[in-house]
Amino acid sequence: MLTEKERLLEIVQTILREPTAPFHEARVREAVSSLLAILPHVSLRTDNFGNLIAHYRRESVDPASGHPEGNVYAFCAHMDHPGWVEPEPAAEAWRFLGGVPADYQAANRDRTRSFGRFLMWDPPPFELRDERIYSRACDDLIGCAVIVAALERVERTGFAGECYGLFTRAEEVGFAGAIAMARDGWLAEAGLTVISLETSAEHPPARMGEGPIVRVGDKTSIFDGTVTAELAATAADAGITVQRCLMSGGTCEATPFRLYGVRCGALCVALGNYHNCAPERVIDSEFVSVADVEELAALCAQLVLRSRALPDPDAALRTRLENNLLQYQSFHRRDQPADPL
């Protein structure tokens, strides 16, 4: 019987070994689908854009109202990673899709491996060293693995409720898959709470190895304050240590979802060598902390399992501020005379 950590690393390795690039996510989608297909209460469908949607559902509807009980979370991660892509028509020059500086591209053009119609950088797909995961594509296949691990945990508990896993395409070229899904309208209509899962470049005060990060915003926007409070409150209630940071190194999928009226928040883990860019224009493996990834998967599962019983996340703060106000009652009298000059 595998431990939670052993099973998580097994899932991570299964997904990371699959090659991917923007608009070439088929092998990752197949790996994720195979892992989730064994879960009896998870159904899978692919939308018109090629995004994969996993739906866990088990006695989740209130017979009296006909509506889902509790807060329903949808965890989102993207299946692509920057890479060289054969264009259409094929006679044109290959294009690099994704945010890697031009000088890195030029200096490392021979550091690639071919997968037919796309190329990836050549670091190994998976290595485990010093309690860190190294890969050519942590961003965002780690997020995909976390969703799979969280759904497995929810399935094992027999939880009576529902949640979603959203696996999107072509995030690296401007959130194409997320926008296509948001424009369909079903996320907002269903009242789902989308939680964007990412590996985000490590910038102070965020520190690798000190827990997953409740991401209050990215370099483009700020996320729903109540959702952010729910994430922090659930972590505290479950005894999971988290960091609370504005991760301004990039923009995540919570931003486009927010633009289309979807209630959303974000979680991430700190990432080293963002987009494979190591110092001195060297292309190298991205890396994350195993412990951070473990805790992120645990937190996602806890969000689902505690979704019905989650108290008002702002209640404690409200009470503290109101008690503070009582200390100044003697100053509350109205119509005080003006202070003398």
**Residue 250: DSSP 8-state:** S
Any idea which residue has 């633009």 for tokens? 259
User: DSSP of 271-311, one letter per residue?
Assistant: EBSGGGEETTTEE--EEEEHHHHHHHHHHHHHHHHTTTT--
Write phi, then psi, for 278 (nearest 5 degrees).
-90, 170
Q: Residue 34: which residues within 8 A CB-CB, separation 6 or more?
A: none
Q: What is the pLDDT of residue 66?
A: 46
Q: What is the pLDDT of residue 80?
A: 98
Q: What is the pLDDT of residue 50?
A: 96
Q: Are 175 and 80 in contact (CB under 8 A)?
A: no
208 CB neighbour count, 10 Å cutoff: 16
Complete edge-to-edge strand list for the sheet that includes strand 193-201: 42-46, 52-58, 161-168, 73-78, 193-201, 263-271, 213-217, 243-246
Query: How deeply is 145 buried, as exposed, middle or buried, from its count of CB atoms within 10 A (0-12, 13-18, 19+)?
Result: buried
Domain boundaries, the chain: 4-81+124-321
Which segments in the chain show pLDDT lower than 70? 60-70, 90-91, 308-317, 330-341
Q: What is the pLDDT of residue 249?
A: 84
Q: Which residues pair with 252 in a beta bridge?
A: none
Q: Are 285 and 136 in contact (CB under 8 A)?
A: yes
Q: What is the pLDDT of residue 71?
A: 84
- DSSP-based three-state secondary structure for 81: coil
Which among 127, 71, 179, 138 is positioned nearest to 272, based on CA atoms? 138
Q: Which two tokens stand for residue 178?
A: 């997320």
pLDDT (tens digit per residue) in 222-249: 999 999 999 999 999 999 999 999 998 8
N-term to C-term CA, the chain: 79
Q: What is the pLDDT of residue 308?
A: 67
Q: What is the pLDDT of residue 65?
A: 42
Q: How many helices (H) and strands (E) does the chain have?
A: 10, 17
Q: What is the pLDDT of residue 59?
A: 79
Any idea which residue has 């094929």 for tokens? 90
36 CB neighbour count, 10 Å cutoff: 21
The model's pTM is 0.90
Q: What is the pLDDT of residue 13?
A: 98
Class of domain 4-81+124-321: alpha beta
